[in-house]
């Protein structure tokens, strides 16, 4: 029985969410909380999956049935990735997949994308296909679109490439940024947001008032370009100001919440360079970029606003064989 262990990082959006769905760039960083997958090749002719973090235990079907019938949501990404890989690179072996996450799937760190990337990387390795990062990205991104219909693919890029990445919709540009370490405090709002629902809500708002929403997206694009320069120069004060401006635009899109606003305000009053929601909004997490000496004050302020601190490091390694 051939076995391989792969892990991929979660992600945090630094700048550009929502606009990146509409052909604009964003900046995303990989975090040190990882999702790992053990993959066994078997002679059973069966696909089986065990992912207790998302309540999938002993899910089994014959290889001929993969991609067909009722598929539980939490198994859909892995199963679809398998179908897509097998279509391109046929094989007959059975497969057992076991995933384990260091982070809760509620945080919006991108567990579905990380697990998709892990599977594609593992299959590439186990069947000696030697896929490049871009090929792993493309196959994983196709999988995400097949399953959820929407998404820019930025989370896939973070999981594959790691580090901090300047990313354009669908992977038209994936540019790793050479950034020095920076200190990010992350606060979880306590509510899980459903990204697909929020992305569809924004699409509806855009249908109703295209000039207004596209105008906001274009302003976000300008901020991302400025932010990229600040990052390259390690100008964290400048980057913080840009985060604040990005947050204002996200509020105008209607995706911030009172709770996120309170946590963001708390972080700023405690001395963060900048703070904003990260991801689709409507819940999930906020991030605050901080001078080192203010980290503890910022954490206390976020806690005072009833946020939960999640300890992470940013700019970490992409998908790897463990």
Site residues (CB under 6 A) for ligand MEV? 13, 17-18, 20-21, 151-152, 154, 195, 199, 279-280
Which CB, 279 or 307, lies closer to ligand MEV?
Answer: 279
* Six token digits for residue 31: 């975090």
Three-state secondary-structure class, residue 314: strand
Which CB, 26 or 267, lies closer to ligand MEV?
Answer: 26
Closest to 225 (Cα-Cα) out of 276, 269, 167, 267: 167
Question: How would you class 49 by CB atoms within 10 Å of its CB: exposed for 0-12, middle for 13-18, buried for 19 or more?
Answer: buried
Which CB, 25 or 270, lies closer to ligand MEV?
Answer: 25
Ramachandran sector of residue 251 (left: φ over 0; alpha: ψ -120 to 50; beta: rest): alpha
Which CB, 66 or 120, lies closer to ligand MEV?
Answer: 120
Could you please report the per-residue DSSP string of 166-212?
EEEGGGTEEEEE------EEEEE-S----HHHHHHHHHHHHHH-HHH
State the nearest-atom distance from the C-beta of 49 to ligand MEV, in Å: 24
* Six token digits for residue 29: 């960083």
State the nearest-atom distance from the C-beta of 12 to ligand MEV, in Å: 9
State the nearest-atom distance from the C-beta of 156 to ligand MEV, in Å: 9
Which CB, 112 or 316, lies closer to ligand MEV?
Answer: 112
Which CB, 44 or 106, lies closer to ligand MEV?
Answer: 106
State the nearest-atom distance from the C-beta of 255 to ligand MEV, in Å: 8
State the nearest-atom distance from the C-beta of 237 to ligand MEV, in Å: 25
Q: How many angstroms separate the CA atoms of 284 and 115, rounded?
A: 19
* Positive or negative torsion for Cα 56, 60, 63, 67: negative
Helical H runs in 177-307? Answer: 195-208, 210-232, 236-253, 258-269, 295-304
State the nearest-atom distance from the C-beta of 13 to ligand MEV, in Å: 6
């Amino acid at each position: 029985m051939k076995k391989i262990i792969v892990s991929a990082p979660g992600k945090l959006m630094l700048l550009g969410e929502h606009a990146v769905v509409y052909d604009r760039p964003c900046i995303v960083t990989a975090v040190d909380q990882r999702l790992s997958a053990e993959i066994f090749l078997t002679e059973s002719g069966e696909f089986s999956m065990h992912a207790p973090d998302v309540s999938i235990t002993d899910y089994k079907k014959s290889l001929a049935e993969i991609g067909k019938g009722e598929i539980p949501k939490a198994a859909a990404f892995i199963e679809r990735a398998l179908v897509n890989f097998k279509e391109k690179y046929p094989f007959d072996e059975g497969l057992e997949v076991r995933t384990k996450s260091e982070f809760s799937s509620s945080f919006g760190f991108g567990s579905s994308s990380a697990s998709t990337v892990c599977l594609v990387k593992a299959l590439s390795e186990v069947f000696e296909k030697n896929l490049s990062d871009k090929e792993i990205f493309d196959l994983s991104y196709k999988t995400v679109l097949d399953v959820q219909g929407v998404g820019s693919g930025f989370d896939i890029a973070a999981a594959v490439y790691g580090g901090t990445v300047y990313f354009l919709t669908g992977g038209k540009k994936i540019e790793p940024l050479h950034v020095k370490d920076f200190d990010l405090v992350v606060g979880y709002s306590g509510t899980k947001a459903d990204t697909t629902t929020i992305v569809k809500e924004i699409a509806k708002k855009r249908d109703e008032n295209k000039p207004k929403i596209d105008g906001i997206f274009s302003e976000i694009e300008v901020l991302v370009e400025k932010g990229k320069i600040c990052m390259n120069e390690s100008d964290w004060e400048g980057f913080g100001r840009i985060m604040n401006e990005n947050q204002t635009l996200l509020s105008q899109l209607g995706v911030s919440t009172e709770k996120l606003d309170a946590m963001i305000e708390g972080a700023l009053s405690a001395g963060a360079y900048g703070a904003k929601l990260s991801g689709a909004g409507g819940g999930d997490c906020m991030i605050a970029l901080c001078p080192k000496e203010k980290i503890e004050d910022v954490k206390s302020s976020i806690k005072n606003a009833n946020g939960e601190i999640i300890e992470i490091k940013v700019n970490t390694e992409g998908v790897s064989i463990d």
